[in-house]
Amino acid sequence: MNRNRILFWTCILVGMICILSSLYLQNLYILRVAVFAVIAAMLAVSVNLLVGYTGQVSLGQAGFYGIGAYTVGLLTTQWHWSFWLALLAAFILTSLTGLILGLPTTQLKGHFLGIATLGFGIIVNVIFNNWTSLTGGPNGIRGIAPPELFGISLQYENYFLGFSLFCLMVVVLMVHLVVNSAIGRAWKCIRHDEISAQVSGINVYGYKLMAFSLSGGIAGIAGGLYAGFMTFISPETFDLNQSITIITTAILGGPGTLFGPLVGAGVLTVLSESLRALNELRLIIYRAILVTVIVFLPEGIYPFISKKLRKRGIASQLKLKDRRRELDEQDFSQS
Amino acid sequence: MLEIQGLRSGYGDITVLQGVSLNVNSGEIVGILGANGVGKTTLLKTISNLIKTRAGTINYQGKNLTHVPPSKLLNLGIAHVPQGRNIFSKMTVAENLHVGLDNVKKRVNPQEQLDYALALFPKLKERWNQLGGTLSGGEQQMLAIARALVTKPSLLILDEPSMGLAPIIVRSVFNAVKKIAQDGTTILLVEQNAVAALNVIDRLYVMDMGRMVYESQEMNDNELEKIKEVYLGAG
């Protein structure tokens, strides 16, 4: 318990240091990449709630991301709302969308759920492209005002990075609290065995809806941040590729862990930026590295590293099967 | 306590239960015996609404259960331990038991129930912080029963608790079942291991092809002879 508490405050401290040090970064290129990495991390955290903690697939996460971005974009440009109210609206609207999407789709399992969410993402993208009178169609929305905080405009990358890191920390903290409560325990049960979960008194349907709603809401906040940072949004950002990148980030980093998605976002960003000089070839190398990682570290990067750090832990995990056999043999020899 | 009339249910086009009737009185251990594939597990799953009822009624203390979702049954005092030790293998023993408690916190005193379950299965206390998957088969079954017990059920439904266990472990599980019944919990038990079950049950039904083919009165030597004829083929 005490060790956990120390770990918890260390993480908070590291987070604060990250936020403060973001003010001293000078390189504009690195700053922008860092902001995108933070947004990617938040998206990966959102999909991790479904893929990692509840065992649901979502291939339509870009739909929530886009709805969040367009909500902020439209409310600030057309109706002149403040960024903060618009961000709140984006969160609420995407949570509701998650809930409504969840109503029919949580009855589905496996591939069927994947297809249904994929359809959702595509429909949202088609709407962005074709509802020209509202969304501006393929031209997107221009001139979104960057947010202001206590009179300081966050259009400076340093401030925006600090702010988005702060948002990410709040989101991760929220996820940490939820997954360690009775709700998280119920999710874990649902992921392992739905029938056992039901007979243990868990309302499987309700808890899945909750996961969908929270996941959508977090992706919506990421969308709002993106709109505020870019000041320009267009449909192509929120397409199927984006959905797949989001889910890859989470799976690569380590689904079902708190820091896995963050590690995944960091690794993928560094990887794709460092390969930028190779032009088209970079896509091939990028995918090859992805495949290699997934083949050799199927649990994800973060669980692999944290297990290496706790070698004794891994040794005992490997012995689980042996120990069970031993116990069963004992039972038989007693009889 | 539990009255079932003309229950029919099944999977897809197949109707498994062809009109099952049964009743369980308060304080009894009622056994349902039968061979593989006659619908015993389907019956239990239909009672806890994991499978939809197609016809017939399930009455529990005067309340119709046919539309109560499975997750609400614990609050009515019905706990179902499914077949095959359905514990959460990647969660610790403590977590497994807390999952049971999470949903009935308003109704029971958690500490009291944990103490009761652990007194019944002291092995679980030794394994408290171990993952469920690292327990032996017998311990896993005990954990599954304990997870149901902490919810303080009035009716405990057990689906083949002896499955895949060594004979001595079967005996200790059944002794625990007997003890639970003595402490006032009514038990509905499905078993294939007739010999083990006959030692603890008060009354039994024999099931075949989705129907009850035999219903016993209180157990005595006379009854046992009849059961041998019907179920064990004149053993």
Q: How many CB pairs under 8 A join A and B?
A: 95
Please tell me if residue A325 touches chain B, with a CB cutoff of 8 Å.
Answer: no
Name the residue facing B86 among A196, A202, A327 (closest C-beta). A196
Q: Which residues contact B186 (CB under 8 A, 6 or more apart)?
A: B1, B2, B24, B25, B26, B27, B28, B29, B154, B155, B156
Element (H, E) at B8: strand B2-11
Q: pLDDT above 90 covers what percent of chain A? A: 40
Residue B219 Cα, gap to closest chain A Cα (Å)? 28
ipTM for the predicted complex? 0.76
Residue A321 Cα, gap to closest chain B Cα (Å)? 7
Q: Judge whether B230 and B214 are in contact, CB under 8 Å.
A: yes
Please state which of the four CATH numbers 3.40.1000, 1.25.40, 3.30.70, 1.10.3470 is assigned to the domain occupying A28-299: 1.10.3470
What pLDDT is attached to residue B235? 42
Element (H, E) at B18: strand B14-24
Instruction: Tell me whether residues A200 and B74 touch, CB distance under 8 A.
Output: yes
Q: Which residues contact B212 (CB under 8 A, 6 or more apart)?
A: B20, B21, B22, B205, B206
What pLDDT is attached to residue A321? 61
Q: Which tens digits make up the pLDDT trace of B25-63?
A: 998 999 998 888 888 999 999 998 888 899 999 999 888
pTM: 0.81
For residue A210, pLDDT over 50 is answered with: yes
Report domain extents, chain A. Answer: 28-299
Tokens 């029963």 correspond to what residue?
B145
Comparing alpha-carbon positions, the chain B residue that sits nearest to A193 is: B88
Average pLDDT over residues B180-193: 90
For residue B171, pLDDT over 70 is answered with: yes
Q: Which residue, B204, B158, B189, B210, is CA-closest to B38?
A: B210
Instruction: Tell me whether residues A195 and B104 touch, CB distance under 8 A.
Output: no
What pLDDT is attached to residue A334? 61
* Ranges A6-10, A247-251, B90-94: which has the least confidence: A6-10
What pLDDT is attached to residue A277? 81
Q: Which tens digits make up the pLDDT trace of B102-120?
A: 878 778 888 888 999 999 9
Residue B53 Cα, gap to closest chain A Cα (Å)? 17
Q: Is beta strand B155-159 parallel, antiparallel or unpaired with respect to B55-60?
A: unpaired
- pLDDT grade, residue B233 (50/70/90)? low
CB hemisphere CA count around B171 (13 angstroms): 7
What pLDDT is attached to residue A313? 55
| Residue A292 in tokens | 């290699």
Instruction: Tell me whether residues B169 and A331 touch, CB distance under 8 A.
Output: yes
Provide the sign of the torsion angle of the four alpha carbons A182, A185, A190, A194, taken in this order. Answer: negative
Q: Which tens digits make up the pLDDT trace of A261-300?
A: 999 999 989 888 888 888 788 778 878 888 888 888 888 8
Name the residue facing A204 among B71, B88, B99 (closest C-beta). B71
Name the residue facing B136 among A193, A198, A324 (closest C-beta). A324
Question: In 3-state terms, what secondary structure has residue A139?
Answer: helix
> Could you give the CA distance from residue A304 to residue A179 in angstroms, rounded to a whole number?
21
What pLDDT is attached to residue B234? 45
What pLDDT is attached to residue B200? 87
Average pLDDT over residues A160-182: 91
**Average pLDDT for chain A:** 87
Q: Judge whether A221 and A167 are in contact, CB under 8 Å.
A: yes
Question: In 3-state terms, what secondary structure has residue A333?
Answer: helix
Average pLDDT over residues A232-251: 90
Sort out which chain B residues have CB atoms less than 8 A from A198's CB and list them: 48, 50, 70-71
Q: Which tens digits make up the pLDDT trace of A122-156?
A: 999 999 999 988 888 888 898 888 888 777 777 78
Q: Which tens digits make up the pLDDT trace of A188-199?
A: 889 888 888 888
Sort out which chain B residues have CB atoms less than 8 A from A323's CB and list them: 134
Instruction: Tell me whether residues B50 and A335 touch, CB distance under 8 A.
Output: no
> Domain B2-230 in CATH: superfamily?
P-loop containing nucleotide triphosphate hydrolases (3.40.50.300)
Q: Judge whether B95 and A195 are in contact, CB under 8 Å.
A: no
